[in-house]
Amino acid sequence: MLHVAAVGASNVLLTNSDTTISTFNKDYVYEVKKARSEIRIDGVIEEPDWQAAQKADTFFKVLPVDSGYATQPSTILMTYDDKALYLAQIFYDTIPGKRVMESFRRDFAFGNNDNLLVFFDTFLDQTNGFSFGVSASGAKWDGTMSNGSAVSLDWDCKWESKTKHYDDRWVTEMRIPFKSVRYPRGSQTWFTNFSRLDLKANEKSSWAPVPRQFPTASLAYTGVMNFEEPLPKPKPQISVIPYIFGGVSKDYEAGTDASYRKDFGFDAKIGISSSMNLDLTYNPDFAQVEVDRQIANIDRFELFFPEKRQFFLENGDLFSSYGYNTSTPFFSRRIGLDAPVLAGARLTGKIGNDLRLGLMTMTTEKTNDFLSRNFTVVSLQKKVFARSNIGFIAVNKQYFDVPSDTSMYNRVVGVDYNLASANNFWSGKFFYHRSFQPGNPDKQYSQGASVTYKTKHLTLGLYETSIGENYLAETGYVRRSGYNFVGTKTGYNFVPNKKVVSHGPDVQIDNYYDKDYNKIEHEYELSYHFQFQDRSEFELSYKNFYVKLQEDFNPTSDAANFLPVGSDYHFGAVSAEFTSTRKTLFNWRAEATKGSFYSGDIQFVEGEIGYRFQPYVNLTMNFNFTDMDLGAPFDREQFFLVGPKMDITFSDKIFWSTFVQYNEQVDNLNINSRFQWRYQPVSDIYLVYTDNYFTGNWNSRNRAIVLKMTYWFN
């Protein structure tokens, strides 16, 4: 059993045999009483247990300023029985106008909806946890938490909620089965916080106060919830999710006949213990995954697109958080995009309170272009000090059926230290990774260090990276190799709490050097930002660049000409960006840039406009126009990228989205239309149509339609 005792003036100390954890907000304790009768999830708070429950009804402002109480009252009630936790929410709303509710879609966009979010730290490590929430439309939100505040919404579980609206308030009841979350045996205390986003009042607030520079999801600033009796013993759960799919595709560009496909596969989730999960997949199909949003690419390096496939995303931080986003040893998009995945397994969870384990192995099929390959990654993370951790990772990519006198593999091992102070003001990372490959040349290292100090007013950061010229992480993402980097960032924030809520300057200085520490590139940025009372934002910036090319570079489609290796360039540009408030039905964001670019000039405008017929229809369109003139002998380049998207949510079970992307830079028009019917909890039928056309003559390039059905047994 946990014992609670006040320590000092700012934190509470909780001990549990081999665990000692300090947390802030010692005075914010919620005593959860056990229910004596049945709770009906109907959005009507009338049961006796709700009347007897403790009220969490004092919410503190976090944004626009973190002083004072929220303008509109909020109340949270909780109770529980042997099977589930129950939560009731009453958010009063007397400001004239419609409540902001974008759609019925699960895992809604946080900033586009009035909403409640709840955060649970069940293992009391102030680093990992679970998040649940509802928007004003009644749409659900559920996700796993990592790195102290990050929420991954790619985890779904079975739980219930019901939302009702009244003239002066909106009310929700929630039922979260204990079997849907993980917690230690004998658990009687969790850390928690409740967050309200009230767009009509232009406020974000929380029950346990959080400094405005941090998200309300910050587990360093949770309060404490004590259950009246210890929770029921966690029971291992087994879920099987079979799926069948079929489709037809035709490649007009290649001139091949139509190709028909029908197949089946399954996912399985096996609870090894209350804190350890085994996920299995056979013959997975990811046709229902939303297509990537295209962007205009005039960069010298490979673009980084985020992972969207659910199997790789649940507990994905155990594998993807190593290194930086410019040099990470494991990037799951390397698996299965060039060859179908045959099968895979992933074991993730906790060993005790302070050690996390991740093990993943995936095998892809042999194709005409690639041999069969196995991808295996092992990750261990050990909590140290208040909220920091040290991690070890090993990644192996192995080819099958290679000639007997040939060895084809790529391996990376590494260690990371992630700094997170008790009050969240200090954060940082220190890592060293090394790759191994046939021949094993020298300089196969990736090393980096960073430290950031962040308060309400001041941000200071120092960053360093060194990547060896022969470092190779084939299962990772390495933006560039053979360089040394040093960068700093300084920012100051004035918070006058008027129509301009906050404003201030930011200075970023990034320098790149070759292996002998001769400068090969710099990027200096000076910017000034404004945040207004209605949560709209404006930023004005100037960037100055120096580049000495290490390889030939052609940013245009002019195949006959290029900028030669060894040539150097000084250039710069001015940018202005505005983001409107999200509480109005019409909203927009736009950025305009004008300046020099390598040997010539560039100007472009990009952004997004949107309108919603809430909560049923959400219309958006991203756009980009680029005008680039590098001078003779290059041709002047002018191209559009336009991406209209229509998202219709007929209810909380039926969704239809269509995304059209017209991209003159790559001479392609893509149409992706996806229908989803959630006919049972976490069980879906998808119908997906994809078409590609040339932008000049509008001839079809390829076309496909896929039908997929899943069902969740548990």
Residue with tokens 């099929």: 365
Residue 104 CB contacts under 8 Å (≥ 6 apart), including other chains: 137, 138, 139, 615, 616, 649, 650, 651, 652, 655
Q: Cβ of 139: how many Cβ atoms within 10 Å?
A: 23
Distances in whole angstroms, Cα of residue 129 to Cα of each of 126, 182, 220, 565: 8, 9, 12, 49
| Residue 571, SS3 per DSSP | strand
pLDDT band at 11 (very low <50, low <70, confident <90, very high): very low
Give the whole-angstrom CA distance, residue 428 versus residue 420.
7
Q: Does 316 have pLDDT greater than 50? A: yes
* Cα gap 694→252, rounded to integer Å: 11
Cβ-based burial of 166 (10 A; exposed 0-12, middle 13-18, buried ≥19)? exposed
40 plus 126 within the same structural domain: yes
Average pLDDT over residues 658-662: 95
Judge contact between 690 and 670, C-beta under 8 A: yes
Closest to 286 in 3D by CA, of 306, 258, 307, 314: 307
Q: SS3 for 449-466, per residue?
A: EEEEEECCCEEEEEEEEE
Residue 20 has pLDDT above 70, yes or no: no
Write out the two tokens for 362. Answer: 């995936």
Residues 313 and 222 in one domain: no
Q: Tell me: the pLDDT tens digits for 636-656?
A: 999 999 999 999 999 999 999
Per residue in 122-148, pLDDT (tens digit) is 999 999 999 999 999 999 999 999 989
**CATH number of the domain where residue 183 is located:** 2.60.40.1190
Per-residue pLDDT, 4 = 35
Is 215 contained in some domain? yes
Same domain, 311 and 218: no
Confidence of residue 303 (pLDDT cuts 50, 70, 90): confident
Looking at the structure, tell me whether residues 221 and 362 fall in a common domain: no
- 91 belongs to a structural domain: yes
- Calculate ∠ Cα 90-92-95, nearest 5°: 155
Helix (H, G, I), strand (E, B) or coil at 310: helix
Number of domains in the chain: 2
595-623 per-position pLDDT tens digit? 999 999 999 999 999 999 999 999 999 99
Higher pLDDT, 170 or 370: 170
Give the domain extent around 432: 301-481
CA-to-CA distance for 635 and 559, rounded, in angstroms?
Answer: 10
**322 and 425 belong to one structural domain:** yes
Where residue 16 falls among pLDDT bands split at 50, 70, 90? very low
Instruction: Give the chain's mean pLDDT.
Output: 91
CA-CA distance, 322 to 431, in Å (whole number)? 8
The reply to whether 179 falls in a domain is yes
Question: Considering the domain boundaries, does residue 98 fall inside one?
Answer: yes
| C-alpha span between 131 and 122 (Å, rounded) | 11
Q: State the residue for tokens 């967050």.
A: 195
Whether residue 533 is contained in a domain is answered as: no
Q: Which tokens belong to 648?
A: 């219709």
Checking if the pLDDT of 332 tops 90, the result is no
Q: How far apart are CA 614 and CA 101, in angstroms?
A: 6
Residues 307 and 439 in one domain: yes
Query: Which pair of structure tokens corresponds to residue 542?
Result: 């100037």
Same structural domain, 205 and 337 = no
pLDDT digits (tens, 9 = 90+) for 91-123: 999 999 999 999 999 999 999 999 999 999 999
Residue 219's SS3 state is helix
pLDDT tens readout for residues 685-702: 999 999 999 988 888 999
| 392 touches 380 (CB < 8 A) | yes
Q: Do the domain assignments include residue 355?
A: yes
- The whole-number average pLDDT for the span 502-524 is 96
**Same domain, yes or no: 192 and 318:** no
Render pLDDT for 419-471 as a digit per residue (tens, 0 to 9): 999 999 999 999 999 999 999 999 999 999 999 999 999 999 999 999 999 99
517 within some domain: no
Distance separating alpha carbons of residues 205 and 75, to the nearest angstrom: 12
Task: Give the residue from 182, 212, 227 where a domain finishes.
Answer: 227
Please tell me what DSSP assigns to residue 563. Answer: B
Helix, strand, coil shares of the chain, percent, nearest 5, are 5, 55, 40
Instruction: Check pLDDT > 60 for residue 40.
Output: yes
Handedness of CA 142, 143, 144, 145 (dihedral sign): negative
254 pLDDT above the threshold of 80: yes
Q: Between β-strands 259-273 and 238-251, what pairing exists: parallel, antiparallel or unpaired?
A: antiparallel
φ, ψ dihedrals at 388, nearest 5°: -85, 170
* Residue 682's pLDDT band (cuts 50, 70, 90): confident
pLDDT the model gives residue 15: 39
Tell me how many degrees the CA angle 708-712-713 measures, rounded to the nearest 5.
135
Which 3-state string (H, E, C) describes 110-135? HHHCCEEEEEEECCCCCCCEEEEEEE
Q: For residue 34, what pLDDT is reported?
A: 97
Residue 658 pLDDT more than 60? yes
Q: How many CA atoms lie within 13 A of 685 on its CB side?
A: 4
Q: Which of 445, 463, 481 is the last residue of a domain?
A: 481
**pLDDT at position 22:** 59
User: Whose CA is closest to 73, among 86, 61, 88?
Assistant: 61
Mean pLDDT computed over 350-363: 92
Q: Are residues 187 and 317 in the same domain?
A: no
Token pair for residue 128?
């990992």
Determine the Cα–Cα distance for residues 127 and 156; give it in Å rounded to an integer. 20
Least confident stretch, 5-9, 128-132, 314-318: 5-9
* One domain, residues 110 and 208: yes
Q: How confident is the model at residue 558, as a pLDDT?
A: 80
**Confidence bin at 405 (pLDDT 50/70/90):** low
Q: 178 in helix, strand or coil?
A: helix
Predicted model pTM: 0.89
Give the pLDDT of residue 301: 82
At residue 236, the pLDDT reads: 73
Per-residue pLDDT, 3? 34
Q: How far apart are the C-alpha atoms of 275 and 185, rounded to whole Å?
A: 9
pLDDT of residue 695: 87
Across residues 315-336, what is the average pLDDT?
A: 89
Give the H/E segment covering residue 319. Answer: helix 317-320
In a shared domain, residues 339 and 204: no
Picking from 175, 194, 227, the residue at the C-terminal end of a domain is: 227
Residue 249 in tokens: 């595709």
pLDDT, mean of residues 493-519:
94
Rounded to whole angstroms, how far apart are CA atoms 99 and 497?
Answer: 24
180 phi and psi, to 5 degrees? Answer: -85, -15
Q: Give the count of beta carbons closer than 10 Å to the beta carbon of residue 588.
A: 15
> If we measure between CA atoms, which residue out of 313, 328, 316 comes closest to residue 395?
328
Residue 6, helix vs strand vs coil? strand
Does residue 10 have a pLDDT over 70? no
With respect to residue 121, please indicate whether it lies within any of the assigned structural domains: yes
**Residue 311 and residue 203 share a domain:** no
